[in-house]
Structure 1
């Protein structure tokens, strides 16, 4: 019994660490916004991850090339939505909004997932999902409006939040596509191929917009983004799903707005206001309600 409790405690620490890493990365994204362009850090992030993985993955990928060829289109789509659109738009949003807002909006993934699943998987949501989604959306608008719904009419003022909403929307597509296709491919192989596609997708943007150089001001941020949220956190998350299941693991994502806000408060001197508290609570209540099973 003691050994089992220790095992569960160890397993529960994995998604906690993963969520902390992703929360810190949101703050890194905001911190580095004025030090390197969104296209540049997004490209360098996946380049670092690709270089680190290649010595371990190249032979495995080559041996499974026929399997990879069969799922070529799926890998291309997954990379476009999960690594290019989501991450690229997140880096762009960081120029116009706070890390705290980005963390709160990021918690909206489950709600978007419900309605995308309805469209693509014919997974009809129950009344709890509908009510919870509406409640979460109201909370999201309250945060974006900084406690004043009327200010939402001034769209330019909330441009960063709007971009982040689109980023999260595309990431929800990524999760639904994973569920829809359920590719029978080793997870690390899948990750490596998606990273490879991401680098290719960046090339036209680099040719058009150029590529900033890595210097002493942005090097640490680039390295962190390429290693911790791109490789270590996903691995911890996958191990946690294996040991404690996807449902128990996914609950930890609700901690991301909290971790993000705490880090932003101490590192970036971002204020936590009453509208963050009220809107955040409404969003989390809505998300919890949306995931309630039909009775």
Structure 2
């Protein structure tokens, strides 16, 4: 295996982390609903010529699974991304990177509820540790403010988006739709654009300025298409275990980009809260021992 194969998942993670920077840079330049709509419309339009022959042959399957595709498009394309663009209005790119790191944890918790997977010791301990880290992070080192309702709305939207995307990943696994990667991705992108169309037409300022255009193109081409292509290549050459481990670099790279490109500063609550959150995710991923609850023995007759 060539060492250059490791570049594929790294490119994907850098592109996804860069999208957090784009989210923050878009504030004041383009409406959140507009950039979300343009992102999926442009990405789907680029993919259309390549997937159209396949989808035409599978048109009956598309009709059969249209509802599930719309749910996936709503959760994966609309909920997470649009909420991130909205959250960027009131939170930092650093928080976008660090709070986004809990997506794997959310997926694990959803897998217990939806897939009936057995919880592990790592899931329980990791969830508690991540919750502690997130509490410290989003309250800027004052966890007691959780009980005083003094939370940043942007951070709460990011948590909601991570929860939606965790469910998205679990439903992908549960439903196992009969489409290959690119046709499936196109259908979900198209559904995402359809979900966003009413908001785009009625509420969003649809103007794309010369300043906003590079951000829209980065989101549509680099973060949506190039990143996915690189990620699939990484899976092909490295396998899922090695490639997936690169996802843990996302919050680190995103934070470094926020500091380097946007001039954001890091405080103690970023270091401590972010570290605890990431440690909790790693613990949940690594500790696979099933959680066994002790049952009380019935008293002897």
TM-score normalised by the shorter chain: which range applies? over 0.9
Match of 1:57 in 2: 51
1:241 and 2:235 equivalent? yes
Q: How does 1:221-236 map to 2 (within 5 A)?
A: 221-236=215-230
- Map of 1:294 onto structure 2: 289
Alignment of 1:125-136 (within 5 A): 125-136=119-130
- What is the CA distance between 1:67 and its match in structure 2? 2.5
Q: Is the 8 A contact 1:144 1:152 kept in 2?
A: no
**Correspondence 1:257 to 2:251:** yes
| Secondary structure of 2:131's aligned partner | helix
**CA shift digits 1:214-238 (9 cap, x unpaired):** 1111011011111011111112112
Q: 2:25 aligns with which of 9, 12, 31?
A: 31
Contact 1:23 1:260 in 2 (8 A): yes
Hey, what's the Cα distance between the residues in 1 that align with 2:132 and 2:113?
22
What TM-score results when the alignment is normalised by the length of structure 1?
0.94
1:95 aligns with 2:89: yes
Superposed CA RMSD: 1.4
1:219 corresponds in structure 2 to 213
Aligned residues between the structures:
289
Change over 3 Å in CA distance of 1:240–1:22 after alignment to 2: same
Alignment-derived partner of residue 264 in structure 2? 270
Give, in whole Å, the separation in 2 of the partners of 1:78 and 1:96. 27
- Measure, in 2, the Cα distance between the counterparts of 1:30 and 1:166: 18
Q: Could you report, residue by residue, the CA deviation over 1:46-103 in whole angstroms, capped at 9, with x for unpaired residues?
A: 1111221122222222122123223222211110100011111111100010000010
Secondary structure of 1:125's counterpart equals: coil
> Structure 2 CA distance, aligned partners of 1:60 and 1:264?
40
Contact 1:152 1:158 in 2 (8 A): no
How far apart, CA to CA, are the structure 2 residues paired with 1:32 and 1:235?
A: 25
Following the alignment from structure 1 to structure 2, what is the Cα–Cα distance between the partners of residues 284 and 253?
Answer: 11
Partners of 2:100 and 2:208 lie apart in 1 by: 28
Q: Are the counterparts in 1 of residues 30 and 205 from structure 2 also a CA contact under 8 Å?
A: no
Which residue pairs with 1:200 in the alignment?
194
Taking the aligned partners of 2:137 and 2:158, their CA distance within structure 1 comes to: 13
* Deviation beyond 6 Å, 4+ runs, structure 1: none
| Residues 1:40 and 2:23 are matched in the alignment | no
For 1:108, what is the secondary structure of its paired residue? helix
* TM-score w.r.t. length of structure 2: 0.92
Displacement after TM superposition at 1:156 (Å): 5.0
Partners in 2 of 1:287 and 1:205 — Cα distance? 35
Q: Paired residue for 2:141, among 141, 147, 159?
A: 147
- Is the radius of gyration larger for structure 1 or structure 2? 2
Give how far 1:22 is off. 0.5
